[in-house]
Structure 1
């Protein structure tokens, strides 16, 4: 049965090569050798494709690989290859053969991909086998997307029987781990071995630093990187072990013996970590492991009919990024400078860049100058909003000479384009810049799109929304472009315009996408996605409908499924759960399902429980072809042991009349509330009470028109936006993490309005507090002038015992002083960390320095006051009554 929670719109590729003239303008580029020239040695002249399916195979897989510079020399009749999957004489025969070496359901697992990844006939330079494998994976994904376009669905299948059992999880911090009595950093122990043998690469201070940094001199950083690469439940399955044997990755002696030494070190760590078992009182599903059990979601849904180049940063290692567009010549990018790979598909740049060769880059000249229009598309996460003239993506010859360019300056995105109406500028000026007041560029993951057409010129979209800014130059012809320029991401070709942040995906189209197509690509998202199917067949009394015995083995058909991806290096995204029945014969069932919680490694996850309010009646008549949606929201959960090792399960409050305990072990929240006897001593403030309380504490009127720099809305607008996510009943047991997040947003808006208003500030904080001072100025008394007034206002002076008041003040002070805002810090590999050498960075004057080695502006002091205000007024002091 073909089932999906979403309808995937699948694009049909249109590969049209156009030609155009050469433009003027000098080139200041650093020329890279082109390792991927266009193939001109083979033109197919055999029988036409016998069906539309074979035509799509030809376009997406056969054409890019059939040349003698790729696979055509061997994998055709008479060649040395065993399988003629690029039969140069007959594409129909090639299609038949290719189906034996390609897995359309899981392209990465295709035999042709794994063979190339293992070193077979990569057409790039030695050491770039993974780039070749990634390129072929892209070909197969496009073939697969077009092959299923009529169904537009993902093929789900019953999963293995896996029960969540005893497990061990690494402690959260190195201090916690060391407290168990094992010296992890000592010679011969786990971190000691990694530091001794892996520091030349896997350290943030290595000449060519490679993530993970589990051999870093910073032991806390090393431990954080290590946690996701060890399996304390099955030490032999740890990535740090498997990389040595069987993968033979940089062994220092003999790979099998080195792997045993690493395995034994992991085992010694595991021996001191207590096992965690699933609470038997929980009502649970079967378990799943993301990379083992996840069903890969198709790449469908994106509009890519006019795609000409695409970089997904999925390699995870090395210094080359594949162009997975399937349009030759590909433009593989060479990484240089300071960069690090992200495990969630992406690369983080600090002072680095990714640059293509000239020959490959000329594809953009022929494709874009020929059509006269284009779209630049990128998923980016700027590291900060203080960088200026920072290049994100350009087709350029140097800092002052570009065909096109997208860059960031502070809170703005800027687009440059050379055309017949900007002939006086080799850089494509004047720039189209987003409005200063809109502050569209933010230090978070964003989908940024620039379109150009000869009528309207440039348009900028951020997260699917048109910025509203009009092109000051208007539209024109692209007849003055320079063919000798090169593609560069994250910097100028000369290295003088570094952009700091994370690149998750970049693409170029040879047409201007419509607003609807921009929204479509934004809603699909970015990165590798899976479906995790959690069996509830054991909880439903419906044999033959939800499960059956087949050849002596049980097969389950009833599942609660999630779309899951690794959100970043430290978290997972669980999104849009739905119920599905995979029984090919259908079935007859009717039951209630309430209160979903996600468990990881034997326990309920302490955060991210966004599905506790699910309450559905599920019956066979309500499913339809696409299953039954249970929620339209998503949540982020912390990564613990890594996508290869973390074991997930679901816990329910009620399934088919069976009731379980919620995560804190108390009776289900949906039980009848208080009906008599002694009333509880505490309750939660409801949405209107929270709003009124914050107004009273800060002095900010309920109808304040002050726009928060945090939320981008006024207090009233913020309240209206989060009102439904605040507590609706006073019952303490009904309070959830989503309520806390909404309260924090509202508190931040009130605190922002408070700090912006000098009159209100004087009413709360002593007049001696200097909001214009550096955050670390000796004259600032954070405890007495900021924290104590906030705590006393929240609790009313004199109502707290002196010891309790002091404890709260101490905790808030620790919260803000433990943050980088009050410490010397530097940007290292994309992370702000405490400065290991303040004297070397001009910090002897006691001040805190921000970007460009300049003292932090007064606004940083105000930001810290807002943070302290939000910490106090968004806490239980205010929310509980």
Structure 2
């Protein structure tokens, strides 16, 4: 019977259908059973909500779940459920009951969420329990945000007492793991068990592939998928164990015995990995594990009053993406083709797609045609800028028949919309296309927004900024839309328009958001974010307000907190630390915090230590609503075992006057003054010295009004923006990578202003250099006229040995001449491209010729000079003294 059910499901899942809708045009949609949850059949008729808080509970949690198709059949008086959290007779009593199964501070930790995730009465098809759990999490987060009257508020609470201890790091590669003496692929070992029992789903060649591919025949691929799912410190807590028992996921015999076999295999793996212990001389905080101890700080502060659909890609596994908007009917998306989940919330697509059902997608028809306007919002990271006509998001029936489409073509974003002013087109042509010269589509994470209203028509925004491109047709009515179309992300419904890249979030609003609202959502960012609180109460026992007791157990109140997220599959982002005291009774405290380093799995992280210069006094007088800021910078740290297992701690130079060892034995001391070592022979220029140095080198005044066409800022505005990320002290041992990045940005601003000013250019570069010549002109001497003057000016001619001078000139020359901008460019079909046939375009005069047999105008000479200037003036030649 189970096989028959699966066969029927797969057969239906592959069927296509064609029809003509109200707007005309054929539909190539895919209909999948269980993907079209309709509106609730329940209408509440009991007593009105007794307060505004209960009204928000009703709108955001109760209404979506109270129907008999969800939770109302059981969790109401007379039903089989133990808790009447959707009491159909009285919403006020339902609110009281719901508070016992819901955690408004950490929605994902709510009992009702974990119960559904474990398989309890998910309303979707079998295997989609996580999608149902993610949907309910969205309901609770929306209720919580309204309950505290501000989506930006996150409730911080004391954390468990977890001391940094011995841990085991999962080796990075299969070869490294095998070298330790355990044959992971052998029968009965971890990968052997997974291949034997899980290959029907968890391989890329399975009939219905399910990530992770830890049952793959490829050892490297299988091991890469296994990392992050085994806990070598506590093998019984490994995901590959817990998935079997207690979660009972596809056990091959008895779940308890299967889990025991997997746990023993993980234990044998762990026994071959050496433990790492924390150096006892370090001055350390208590420890935290991101997924277990982090306080979720999801997209607080977003404008979502007009939201109708939202996909956040939280699931991390499976083939379904939840619509977390809270607006029924939801539009869950089915994933197919070549896709993979991102641990930081998102999916990567190569030749895959995420598609909704027809009935659920009809919500967009009803909502958007009802208002006559909309906003499409997406956080995307294109895999490249060479793909064309690649669909990112669409409400469509096929490649030639759509209501709306957002797509990428090379460096351009394109928006299509069917309306009364495009009646001759069933695909929404002509497109609104971003300007070619702006090259707005880039292979990096970007916030892309389309708005549409009946007056202005379409507008495109990238990273919160209006592109300035005007809709060629203007506004119109949405009265010719087709209601039988479906939502599809990453491709067309027929699979003929694949887009390669990462999708981190997509949303639909039934109003055209204002520019301010778009900026607001852009600034909030995207993805899974947490607050991690590291207790320092044990380091300041004399501060009475930093600790207390409850029920005979110690409770800590003083913490150094970070905003933390898993940046990608191999790293974490630690951002903007602050100090907070969570004592509900308040109280006085006053102590110093100096030099913070982040530790992971028993040792100081070897890279990414951006907080070594923290030197703050924290006291009750400085404690605002958001704590005491300690640093405005962030850093990237390497992922080792995964967010469920990596154990973090902080090590300090000093807290409350007590000093700790700043060298944990793995690296040199960061501050020679604390170890008694000799001071370095060189020193760093501080922020004001770097600013003054760049002004002298370029001749550009520190108060210059020249505005960069790239950043839109003057040098003074750039300096203000990066000043806090530049060196604050002259000690060379305190230098960080963030200092270099900030110095490079400031150097780029000064070099931009220099090249813009013809008079200043003549003071730095020989008069013979022709800024109007094409970059490939033989008349240009890059080495003698650009690179050498920059190096000599930065290092003072005569101070460097000639060999050293020539070596630096060689390196800078290689840097710029290896760039494609120095290669011949020609105009082909209205687009500048690297010349495919230089011989055909080079005349006897040595110039490059383009279309119509005319010389190519100079387009990149100034940019290459700016690049060379930035490479020299943003280097150690400028920063070290």
TM-score bracket for the superposition, by shorter chain length: 0.7 to 0.9
| Residue pair 2:27, 2:484 contacting (<8 A) in 1 also | no
| Residue pair 1:145, 1:298 contacting (<8 A) in 2 also | no
Residues 136 and 150 (structure 1), Cα distance of their counterparts in 2 relative to 1, 3 Å cut: closer
Secondary structure of the equivalent of 2:132?
Answer: helix
Residues 150 and 712 (structure 1), Cα distance of their counterparts in 2 relative to 1, 3 Å cut: closer
Secondary structure of the equivalent of 2:652?
Answer: strand
Q: Which residue of 2 aligns with 1:482?
A: 482
Q: Which residue of 2 aligns with 1:403?
A: 403
d(CA) in 2 for partners of 1:124, 1:452:
33
Q: Which residue of 1 aligns with 2:768?
A: none
Matched, 1:131 2:150: no
Q: Which residue of 1 aligns with 2:6?
A: none
d(CA) in 2 for partners of 1:123, 1:155:
31
Q: Which residue of 2 aligns with 1:67?
A: 67
Residues 419 and 723 (structure 1), Cα distance of their counterparts in 2 relative to 1, 3 Å cut: same
Residues 277 and 81 (structure 1), Cα distance of their counterparts in 2 relative to 1, 3 Å cut: closer
d(CA) in 1 for partners of 2:486, 2:71:
27
Q: CA-to-partner distance for each residue in 1:227-258, whole Å, 9 max, x for gaps?
A: 22222222222222222333333334443343
d(CA) in 2 for partners of 1:206, 1:482:
36
| Residue pair 1:22, 1:479 contacting (<8 A) in 2 also | no
Matched, 1:43 2:43: yes
d(CA) in 2 for partners of 1:551, 1:173:
46
Q: How does 1:442-841 map to 2 (within 5 A)?
A: 442-663=442-663, 669=671, 671=673, 680-681=680-681, 725=725, 731-742=731-742, 757-758=775-776
Residues 687 and 152 (structure 1), Cα distance of their counterparts in 2 relative to 1, 3 Å cut: closer
Q: CA-to-partner distance for each residue in 1:266-314, whole Å, 9 max, x for gaps?
A: 2333233222222223221111111221122255311111111111111
Q: Which residue of 2 aligns with 1:29?
A: 28
Residues 684 and 110 (structure 1), Cα distance of their counterparts in 2 relative to 1, 3 Å cut: closer
Secondary structure of the equivalent of 2:421?
Answer: coil
TM-score (norm 2): 0.78
RMSD after superposition? 4.4
| Residue pair 1:289, 1:646 contacting (<8 A) in 2 also | yes
Matched, 1:356 2:335: no
Residues 688 and 797 (structure 1), Cα distance of their counterparts in 2 relative to 1, 3 Å cut: farther
Residue 712 (structure 1) shift = 11
Q: Which residue of 1 aligns with 2:268?
A: 268
Matched, 1:235 2:232: no
Residues 495 and 618 (structure 1), Cα distance of their counterparts in 2 relative to 1, 3 Å cut: same
d(CA) in 1 for partners of 2:446, 2:72:
41
Secondary structure of the equivalent of 2:437?
Answer: helix
TM-score (norm 1): 0.78
Q: Which residue of 1 aligns with 2:438?
A: 438
Secondary structure of the equivalent of 1:538?
Answer: helix
Q: CA-to-partner distance for each residue in 1:824-872, whole Å, 9 max, x for gaps?
A: xxxxxxxxxxxxxxxxxxxxxxxxxxxxxxxxxxxxxxxxxx9999999
Q: CA-to-partner distance for each residue in 1:191-230, whole Å, 9 max, x for gaps?
A: 4443444344333444433333333344334333322222
Q: CA-to-partner distance for each residue in 1:663-695, whole Å, 9 max, x for gaps?
A: 566556384999xx9975555688899999999
Residue 451 (structure 1) shift = 0.9
Residue 38 (structure 1) shift = 2.6
Residues 106 and 721 (structure 1), Cα distance of their counterparts in 2 relative to 1, 3 Å cut: closer
| Gapped regions of structure 1 (runs ≥ 5) | 1-20, 767-792, 817-865
d(CA) in 2 for partners of 1:267, 1:217:
23
d(CA) in 1 for partners of 2:526, 2:154:
17
d(CA) in 2 for partners of 1:479, 1:876:
62
Residue 645 (structure 1) shift = 0.8
| Residue pair 1:430, 1:473 contacting (<8 A) in 2 also | yes
Secondary structure of the equivalent of 2:422?
Answer: coil
Aligned length: 779
Q: Which residue of 2 aligns with 1:388?
A: 388
Q: Which residue of 1 aligns with 2:202?
A: 202
Q: CA-to-partner distance for each residue in 1:650-670, whole Å, 9 max, x for gaps?
A: 111221112223356655638
Which 10-residue stretch deviates more, 220-229 or 663-672?
Answer: 663-672
Secondary structure of the equivalent of 2:220?
Answer: helix
d(CA) in 1 for partners of 2:317, 2:682:
53
d(CA) in 1 for partners of 2:751, 2:238:
46
Residue 397 (structure 1) shift = 1.3
Q: Which residue of 1 aligns with 2:17?
A: none
d(CA) in 2 for partners of 1:542, 1:448:
51
Secondary structure of the equivalent of 1:545?
Answer: helix
d(CA) in 1 for partners of 2:151, 2:27:
50
| Gapped regions of structure 2 (runs ≥ 5) | 1-19, 756-764, 766-773, 785-796, 819-865
Compare relative contact order (CA 8 Å, sep 6+) and give the higher one, 1 or 2. Answer: 1
d(CA) in 2 for partners of 1:315, 1:761:
59
| Residue pair 2:344, 2:568 contacting (<8 A) in 1 also | yes
d(CA) in 1 for partners of 2:576, 2:680:
36
Q: How does 1:54-453 map to 2 (within 5 A)?
A: 54-149=54-149, 153-297=153-297, 299-453=299-453
Secondary structure of the equivalent of 1:248?
Answer: coil
d(CA) in 1 for partners of 2:709, 2:721:
13
Residues 214 and 663 (structure 1), Cα distance of their counterparts in 2 relative to 1, 3 Å cut: farther
Residues 867 and 125 (structure 1), Cα distance of their counterparts in 2 relative to 1, 3 Å cut: farther
Residue 152 (structure 1) shift = 5.8
Which 10-residue stretch deviates more, 452-461 or 686-695?
Answer: 686-695
Residue 584 (structure 1) shift = 1.5
